[in-house]
Amino acid sequence: MKNNIKGVGVALITPFTQNGGVDYNALERVLEHITRGGVDYVVALGTTAETATLSRQEQQDIFDFVRKHNRGGLPLVVGLGGNSTEDVVRRLREFDMDGASAVLNVTPYYNKPNQRGLLEHYRAVAGASPLPVILYNVPGRTGVNMSAETTLQLASEVPNILGIKEACGLLPQITYLLRDRPEGFLVISGDDGMAFPVAALGGDGVISVAANALPELLVELVHATTAGDNRRGAALHLRLQEVIDALFVEGSPVGIKTLLAAKGMIENRLRLPLVTGSDGLMERFRQLIRRYDL
């Protein structure tokens, strides 16, 4: 299976205007910023994009915009997920994903399927997808953890599955994936705080929230570690840990939007039920920017 997904991917935010619409000017600024920062690929319409609050038309418009303004020619991954397998399959057939390299598909949320349900869901999704599928396991958001055994079964049995964005937060689970995965199956960290250990263990980089604001540092961390320079990777991990922790104190993407606003890149606006970060969080980021020269 042809694969151009490697290194640091950015889980792209969706900036909003004062009247609640998509702020395409700010989105273009973020795209230019991450491209200059050297990221390897872009993930549009993931969790960080507040996709659950976007209309179907907004989702298509945002992907069209990212595709048009991808001046660095970076590989694009499009997030298409949901808690109805039938609806996801239909959207895979209808969504114009021309130019994308892969589909990121989150485990169904709220329904809490068992492991057999997850197997059947992903068999159906992979069978319908015109592009390779990256599984996305994020139990903190979906309410269900896809086990290493289930992931490995899918990796071995379903040809159109390219890899997994693993955000379980459990290093032993990720370790088993790295140990037992078939050749060519990607194991990508879904947590910024796990980017270093996953890369050091031979994983395939990170799909990063923090890289919206700090692309150069995440790229250096992952690329150095992947090249075997664990000393440099560890130093960057230690430098970034406090910032990464702050990103998730009030939830995501609340944190990354607060950091981007503190850096003057976007207006600090989200769609309900998410609300903007507190004044205390904004001040914390301003202090961290000064302390760590961000």
Active-site amino acid positions: 136, 165
C-alpha–C-alpha distance, residues 79 and 191, integer Å: 17
Cβ atoms of 182 and 156 closer than 8 Å? yes
3-state secondary structure of 208: strand
C-alpha–C-alpha distance, residues 170 and 161, integer Å: 22
Q: Is 116 exposed, middle or buried, given 0-12, 13-18 or 19+ CB atoms closer than 10 A?
A: exposed
Cβ atoms of 13 and 51 closer than 8 Å? no
Backbone angles phi, psi at 214, to 5 degrees: -125, 55
Strand spans (E) along the chain: 8-11, 41-44, 76-79, 102-106, 133-137, 161-166, 186-189, 206-208
Cβ atoms of 42 and 70 closer than 8 Å? yes
